[in-house]
Amino acid sequence: MIPDNIQALAPNMVQWRRHLHTHPELGYEEYDTQKFILSTLRAMGHHPIVAGDTGVVVDIGTDGPIVLARADIDALPIEEESPIDYRSRREGVMHACGHDGHTAMLLGVAQVLPQFLDKIPGRARLIFQPAEERHPGGALKMIRDGVLDGVIRVTGLHLQSELPAGKIGARPGVQSANSDRFDILIEGKGGHGSAPHHTIDPIPVMAQMIMAMQTIISRQINPTDAAVLTISAAQSGSAYNAIPSRAELKGTVRTFNQDVQNRIIEQMRQVMEGTAETFGAHAELQYRKGYPSVVNSQEEWKIFKDVVEKFAGRDVWIDVEQRMGGEDFAYYLQQRPGVFWNLGAHDPRYPYPHHHSQFNFAESVMPLGVWIMVQTILAFIREPLSPSGARQTENS
């Protein structure tokens, strides 16, 4: 199914991907990554420009409808523990989510796309976006720098290590969750560990809050409304014989529905204030709404599914479930119709989830990713916008 000229890109993409994996950079620090992308694109004969501080944009094709395709380029603050020979050389930084593969595939698209766009009027705008993993997300900076100007549709992909290698899918409508973060700061009164009656110990306050907040989802939210409240860090004190004066909780909330999101915030505040008052302490909630839900437009999802079935085969398609993960590609989809899709990349040698210190994926799927991305761009260029899609573009 995959043409020989695209399959032949595999060694280059593996080389690009492993170079990026060896030299990962965090969000808004991707200076070496940016230089590598710029030099690689220029060697292909393209004329890329800088956007979003550490991002890259390149237009390919002639005048006509513009379709945007995006890859994210940043890594995570994780110390890699993989036994591979191309493991990260940067202490405490690792490509643990597949962004190195996304970048390599979009470079592959840049390599082959000119030969396809020679035959039709239209342009592809390939963007290499920084800081997807760093709130508030690099997508907003790229948008402010004008990457959506003139664009009629958008698309992007994400490798999924838990899906069978070579399977492709997307979901019409809501595909990912609202992704929020919170901090709870608890103020008590410190003192000596031998005299707790002279203190207001923040640690029991923190413990009580943790237990009480677990009931928000199970007892305050309708069971038919999917939601997650995770407390991921609890910090207080450092000595054996001293009661600290402060404690801090950190965590995340994931929802699909804005009303549910707001109700959880209200319940968290009530639990926090009530618990603190009971113990004579004071607490403050710092809640930050993060990435909105990824919402694929119905028409573009159908176009994409037809592309997959035509150019990869019906047996390749997989109906993906809604995910609680966050993704700042949602910001592009708020302003232009499009589809964000998944490419299965499970490698049985690396049975580790995304954001794990030994995460890896099957590099063999990258030519398929390029092939489907190319054909999606072409289909999005050829297919006229529906009236609703046209209005969305004009009003954004």
Task: Convert the pLDDT of each residue in 170-204 to its tens digit.
Answer: 999 999 999 999 999 999 999 999 999 999 999 99
DSSP codes of every residue in 134-158: STT-HHHHHHHTTTTTTEEEEEEEE
The one-character DSSP state at 246 is: E
Q: Which two tokens stand for residue 386?
A: 């529906």
Q: Is 48 in a helix, a strand, or coil? A: coil
For the sheet containing 178-187, what is the strand order?
A: 227-235, 246-255, 178-187, 282-291
Percentage of residues in the chain with pLDDT exceeding 90? 95
Rounded Cα distance between 281 and 189, Å, is: 8
pLDDT at 119: 83
334 burial type by CB count under 10 A (0-12 exposed, 13-18 middle, 19+ buried): middle
Percentage of residues in the chain with pLDDT exceeding 70? 98
At residue 363, does pLDDT exceed 80?
yes
CATH placement of domain 4-175+293-395: 3.40.630.10
At residue 1, does pLDDT exceed 90?
no
At residue 130, does pLDDT exceed 90?
yes
Digit-coded pLDDT (tens) for 238-252: 999 999 999 999 999
Q: Which two tokens stand for residue 35?
A: 């230089």
Question: Could you tell me which residues come within 8 angstroms of residue 218 by beta carbon, excluding any fewer than 6 positions away?
Answer: none
At residue 237, does pLDDT exceed 60?
yes
Q: Provide CATH 3.40.630.10 ranges for the chain.
A: 4-175+293-395
User: How sure is the predictor about 393, in pLDDT bands with cuts at 50, 70 and 90?
Assistant: very low
CATH 3.30.70.360 correct for 178-291: yes
Q: Provide CATH 3.30.70.360 ranges for the chain.
A: 178-291
pLDDT at 118: 87
At residue 395, does pLDDT exceed 50?
no
At residue 389, does pLDDT exceed 90?
no
Please say whether the beta carbons of 228 and 168 come within 8 A.
Answer: no
At residue 316, does pLDDT exceed 50?
yes
Residue closest to 80 by CA, chosen among 3, 153, 127, 23? 23
At residue 394, does pLDDT exceed 60?
no
Taking each continuous run of H as one helix and of E as one strand, the counts in the chain are 11, 15
pLDDT at 391: 42
Digit-coded pLDDT (tens) for 317-334: 999 999 999 999 999 999
Residue closest to 114 by CA, chosen among 383, 377, 379, 382? 377
> Catalytic amino acids?
74, 132
Q: Residue 298: count other Cβ atoms within 10 Å of its Cβ.
A: 13
